[in-house]
């Protein structure tokens, strides 16, 4: 579906598309969200399957810490214009994969690209400028800056951020006003407008999550990567956050998020990728994935519902070994 | 006890050339530590390179002091690059180690006997001050009768020095209200968050290191002009730590913090010095010699200064003029 390719036009043709697309969506993503979602229906439900219109692809990305292989992803594609969830038990390597994809960590080997542009050895800040912005599992707000200043930092291409222009306010004043206006509309949308002048360090955990997400939108990203957006958020706020994530999709942005909250995953994601022990073990629409025995095994351990005798354990070991061997052969 | 002497002597120091030197050095450290969170423990190194550059241009090569200033600035930038390139990608403490070591290396090399025919060894260099004093508009001592008085040469250095301070404060204010300054403050709060928003953190830290170093260079020029000589003892490690004390007293991340800090620091340290000097002097001292003799008295000011600094950190960690909500010293 080449006609559905999103165009990354950082020059930014101003688009006014009514209330659905706020002023923040300035890159103008030509993504037919419904078509993108429909296209996923025909995709195979096997790990590492190719997508009709991938925005992000990764090949053979391996990262080990000492003897532990934290991430070993053979192939991964993320479909443009949909919400993809990345789930898996603790220590599955989800956050490490996030770090690798966004340039915060370097893999031992592998290749990955965003919108067809290779990201090998591209530093994190350049990845962000390309339109792929992440948030953090442990929320990173700038505590001793006010909420509105936090938002302003997020704006890209600021003239006043260059050293020589910085001292001459007339050079950046008008751009600053535009950014502030955009920041204010985002704050309003994320219910933070009353906190505008407060120091970010004084916000509650949930409000920090909101602020971090709003701030990442100031960069006008094409792909938003959220690392556990629901962790530590109260149930009432959760519904709001869910709405925000969905609205990102309506704006034509692609969302990839890590989450442990299965209700959220089931509720908003169009596609689910399951990681366990650094590998991708399953992929598919949420309902199919959650019924997948491989996924249940990954979370609860294989044979979680069988009473274990010594003989049975021996047999399981033998089976597992055979399985691993078989897998190794098929992978070769 | 002559209280008028105490007041006169202290005021003379609080507004005198030495206070100017520490004020300029602390303005540089404010950029590094207060705004960017960089721990530069080698400000004395920047001062020394600049001071010696200015002096040697005229004593060795017969150039003018202006040429010396220019060379000093260029060398300071080079020093900042040398220190920053290997360390600014690492954690903050590496910069601290490298800068304190570099400052000592510079001092040891310059004072080495091997170079003493050109650089004067431990005695330092003189004989460059004439062009500066020739343009001195003051020929009589200046001051307020009965309160404080400075010699014409000192007052000329003060005029030039406080003017430099005023210009420096203006530059800092212009920079720190701009988006550029906002990025620096954000880096102080959380580097990774800033990186994730598409800012080249490394480049900003480098700019900060260079600019703060340049204010250190101004301090180095004033040292030479104040004393009409440069020697290794003017640039020992304690200079950097006194400058930090000045910064912490006034309040880090405040434009006028270093100015207030320098005046207060030199007032207090002189009052203490004169007080204990007088209290132990004469045939029948106020503090009997069995408790303290006059040699010991000369150390009391440092003991009290250290005590005062500790109390300040405990009860007012933001410094006298800092904003508690935005204090840079954070135990968490």
Please answer yes or no on whether B197 and A199 come within 8 Å at the CB atom.
Answer: no
Do A194 and A313 have their domain in common?
no
Please answer yes or no on whether B196 and A145 come within 8 Å at the CB atom.
Answer: no
What's the domain count of chain A? 2
The minimum CA-CA distance between B68 and chain A, rounded to whole Å, is: 24
CATH (domain of B301):
1.10.3470
B316 touches chain A (CB under 8 A): no
Question: What does the pLDDT profile of chain A (332 residues) look like in tens digits?
Answer: 344 344 444 333 333 333 333 434 445 577 777 888 888 887 888 888 888 889 999 999 999 998 888 999 999 999 999 999 999 888 889 999 999 999 999 999 999 999 999 999 899 999 999 999 999 988 899 988 999 999 999 999 899 999 999 999 999 999 999 999 999 999 998 889 999 999 998 888 888 999 999 999 999 999 999 998 888 788 888 888 888 899 999 999 999 999 888 888 888 999 999 998 899 988 999 888 888 887 887 776 655 556 667 777 788 788 888 888 888 887 66
Decide: B43 and B28 in contact? Cβ < 8 Å.
yes
pLDDT confidence of residue A28: 58
The sheet with strand A68-79 has its strands ordered as A68-79, A54-65, A109-114, A117-118
- Among B35, B178, B211, which would you mutate to test the A interface (most chain A Cβ atoms within 10 Å of its Cβ)? B178
A8 touches chain B (CB under 8 A): no
The minimum CA-CA distance between A126 and chain B, rounded to whole Å, is: 6
B326 touches chain A (CB under 8 A): yes
Please answer yes or no on whether A141 and B198 come within 8 Å at the CB atom.
Answer: no
Q: How confident is the model at residue B245 (pLDDT cuts 50, 70, 90)?
A: very high
Element (H, E) at A147: helix A147-154
The residue range of the domain holding B186 is 3-326
A167-173: which pairs have CB atoms within 8 A and are 24 or more residues apart? A167/B171, A167/B174, A167/B175, A167/B178, A169/B174, A169/B177, A169/B178, A172/B178, A172/B179
Please answer yes or no on whether A166 and B181 come within 8 Å at the CB atom.
Answer: yes
Do A176 and A307 have their domain in common?
no
The minimum CA-CA distance between A203 and chain B, rounded to whole Å, is: 13
What's the domain count of chain B? 1
Do A76 and A159 have their domain in common?
yes
Q: How confident is the model at residue B215 (pLDDT cuts 50, 70, 90)?
A: very high
Q: With a cut of 80, say whether residue B299 has pLDDT above it.
A: yes
CB contacts of B200 in chain A (<8 Å) are 123, 125
The minimum CA-CA distance between B187 and chain A, rounded to whole Å, is: 9
- Chain A residue nearest residue B188, CA to CA: A142
CB contacts of B182 in chain A (<8 Å) are 145, 149, 152-153, 161
B171 touches chain A (CB under 8 A): yes
Do A181 and A330 have their domain in common?
no
Give the one of B182, B188, B197 whose C-beta lies nearest to A149's C-beta.
B182
Do A8 and A110 have their domain in common?
yes
Q: What is the CA radius of gyration of chain A?
A: 21
Residue B251 included in any domain: yes
B77 touches chain A (CB under 8 A): no
Q: What is the pLDDT of residues B93-149, one digit of tens each?
A: 899 999 999 999 999 999 998 988 889 889 999 989 999 999 999 999 898 888 888
Decide: A94 and A293 in contact? Cβ < 8 Å.
no
Nearest-5° Cα angle at A53, A51 to A57: 65
3-state secondary structure of A217: helix
Decide: A29 and A15 in contact? Cβ < 8 Å.
no
* CA atoms of B58 and B64, how far apart (whole Å): 6
Of A21 and B51, the one with more pLDDT = B51
Give the one of A145, A162, A169 whose C-beta lies nearest to B186's C-beta.
A145
Q: Which two tokens stand for residue A272?
A: 């689910």
- Chain A residue nearest residue B175, CA to CA: A167
Please answer yes or no on whether B179 and A176 come within 8 Å at the CB atom.
Answer: yes
The residue range of the domain holding A310 is 302-332
Do A317 and A196 have their domain in common?
no
CB contacts of A201 in chain B (<8 Å) are 325
The ipTM of this complex is: 0.86
Compute the average pLDDT of residues B143-170: 93
Q: What is the pLDDT of residues B56-68, one digit of tens each?
A: 999 999 889 999 9
The minimum CA-CA distance between B223 and chain A, rounded to whole Å, is: 28
Do A320 and A224 have their domain in common?
no
- Chain B residue nearest residue A219, CA to CA: B197
Element (H, E) at A69: strand A68-79
Do A259 and A327 have their domain in common?
no
Of B313 and B243, the one with more pLDDT = B243
Do A292 and A318 have their domain in common?
no
Give the one of B177, B193, B200 whose C-beta lies nearest to A140's C-beta.
B193
The minimum CA-CA distance between A202 and chain B, rounded to whole Å, is: 9
Please answer yes or no on whether A102 and B196 come within 8 Å at the CB atom.
Answer: yes
- Among B34, B198, B206, B254, which would you mutate to test the A interface (most chain A Cβ atoms within 10 Å of its Cβ)? B198
pLDDT confidence of residue A27: 56
pLDDT confidence of residue B44: 96
**Residue A198, burial from CB neighbour count under 10 angstroms (0-12, 13-18, 19+):** middle
Decide: A101 and A119 in contact? Cβ < 8 Å.
yes
**Residue B104, burial from CB neighbour count under 10 angstroms (0-12, 13-18, 19+):** middle
The DSSP string of B158-183 is: HHHHHHHHHHHHHHHHHHHTSHHHHH
Please answer yes or no on whether B193 and A136 come within 8 Å at the CB atom.
Answer: yes
B325 touches chain A (CB under 8 A): yes
Could you give the percent of chain B with pLDDT greater than 70? Answer: 97
Please answer yes or no on whether B326 and A144 come within 8 Å at the CB atom.
Answer: yes
Do A241 and A332 have their domain in common?
no
The minimum CA-CA distance between A107 and chain B, rounded to whole Å, is: 18
Of B1 and A22, the one with more pLDDT = B1
- Chain A residue nearest residue B327, CA to CA: A144
* CA atoms of B212 and B202, how far apart (whole Å): 15
Please answer yes or no on whether A145 and B190 come within 8 Å at the CB atom.
Answer: no
Q: Which two tokens stand for residue A242?
A: 């869910």
Please answer yes or no on whether A145 and B171 come within 8 Å at the CB atom.
Answer: no
Please answer yes or no on whether B199 and A161 come within 8 Å at the CB atom.
Answer: yes
B179 touches chain A (CB under 8 A): yes
Please answer yes or no on whether B178 and A143 come within 8 Å at the CB atom.
Answer: no
**Residue A78 φ/ψ, nearest 5 degrees:** -115, 125
CATH (domain of A166):
3.40.50.300
pLDDT confidence of residue B291: 84
* CA atoms of A19 and A25, how far apart (whole Å): 11
Compute the average pLDDT of residues B215-222: 97
Do A164 and A187 have their domain in common?
yes
3-state secondary structure of A29: coil
């Amino acid at each position: 579906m080449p006609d559905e390719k999103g165009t990354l036009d950082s020059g930014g043709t101003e688009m006014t598309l009514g209330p659905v697309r706020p002023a923040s969506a300035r890159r103008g993503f030509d993504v037919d969200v419904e078509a993108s979602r429909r296209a996923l229906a025909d995709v195979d439900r096997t790990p590492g399957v190719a997508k009709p219109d991938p925005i992000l692809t990764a090949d053979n990305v391996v990262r080990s810490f000492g003897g532990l292989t934290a991430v070993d992803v053979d192939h991964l594609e993320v479909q443009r214009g949909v919400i993809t969830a990345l789930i898996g038990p603790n220590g599955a390597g989800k956050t490490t994969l996030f770090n690798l994809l966004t340039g915060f960590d370097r893999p031992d080997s592998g290749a990955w690209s965003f919108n067809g542009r290779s990201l090998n050895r591209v530093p994190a800040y350049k990845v962000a400028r390309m339109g792929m912005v992440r948030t953090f599992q442990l929320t990173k707000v700038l505590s001793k800056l006010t909420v509105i200043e936090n938002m302003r930092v997020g704006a890209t291409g600021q003239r006043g951020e260059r050293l020589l222009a910085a001292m001459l306010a007339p050079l950046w004043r008008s751009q600053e006003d535009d950014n502030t206006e955009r920041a204010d509309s985002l704050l309003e949308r994320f219910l933070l407008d009353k906190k505008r002048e407060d120091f970010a360090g004084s916000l509650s955990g949930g409000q920090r999550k909101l602020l971090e997400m709003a701030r990442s939108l100031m960069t006008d990203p094409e792909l938003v990567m959220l690392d556990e957006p629901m962790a530590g958020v109260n149930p009432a706020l959760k519904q709001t956050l869910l709405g925000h994530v969905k609205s990102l999709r309506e704006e034509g942005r692609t969302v990839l998020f890590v989450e442990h909250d299965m209700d959220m995953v089931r509720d908003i994601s169009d596609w689910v990728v399951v990681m366990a022990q650094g590998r991708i073990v399953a992929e598919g629409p949420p309902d199919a994935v959650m019924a997948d025995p491989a996924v249940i095994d990954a979370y609860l351990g294989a044979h979680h519902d069988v009473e274990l005798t010594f003989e049975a354990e021996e047999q399981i070991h033998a089976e597992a070994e055979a399985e691993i061997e078989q897998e190794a052969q098929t992978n070769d | 006890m002559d209280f008028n002497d105490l007041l006169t002597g202290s005021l003379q120091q609080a507004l005198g050339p030495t206070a100017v030197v520490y004020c300029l050095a602390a303005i540089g450290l404010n950029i590094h530590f207060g705004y960017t969170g960089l721990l530069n423990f080698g400000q004395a190194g920047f001062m020394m390179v600049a001071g010696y550059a200015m002096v040697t241009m005229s004593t060795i090569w017969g150039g003018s002091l202006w040429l010396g200033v220019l060379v000093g600035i260029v060398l300071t930038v080079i020093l900042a690059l040398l220190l920053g390139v290997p360390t600014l990608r690492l954690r903050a403490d590496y910069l601290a180690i490298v800068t304190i070591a570099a400052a000592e290396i510079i001092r040891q090399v310059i004072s080495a006997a091997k170079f003493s025919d050109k650089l004067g060894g431990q005695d330092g260099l003189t004989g460059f001050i004439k062009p500066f004093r020739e343009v001195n508009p003051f020929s009589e001592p200046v001051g307020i009768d009965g309160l404080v008085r400075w010699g014409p040469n000192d007052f000329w250095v003060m005029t030039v020095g406080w003017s430099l301070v005023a210009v420096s404060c203006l530059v800092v204010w212009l920079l720190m209200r701009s988006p550029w300054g906002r990025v620096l403050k954000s880096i102080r709060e959380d580097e990774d968050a800033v990186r994730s928003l598409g800012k080249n953190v490394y480049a900003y830290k480098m700019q900060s290191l260079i600019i703060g170093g340049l204010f250190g260079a101004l301090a180095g020029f004033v040292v030479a002009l104040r004393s009409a000589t440069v020697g290794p003892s003017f640039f020992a490690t304690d200079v950097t730590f006194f400058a930090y004390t000045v910064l912490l007293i006034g309040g880090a991340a405040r434009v006028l913090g270093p100015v207030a800090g320098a005046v207060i620091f030199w007032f207090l340290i002189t009052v203490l010095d004169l007080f204990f000097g007088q209290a132990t002097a004469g045939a029948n001292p106020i503090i009997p010699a069995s408790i303290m003799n006059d040699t010991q008295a000369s150390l009391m000011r440092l003991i009290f200064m250290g005590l005062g600094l500790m109390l300040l950190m405990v009860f007012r960690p933001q410094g006298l003029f800092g904003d508690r909500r935005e204090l840079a010293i954070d135990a968490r």
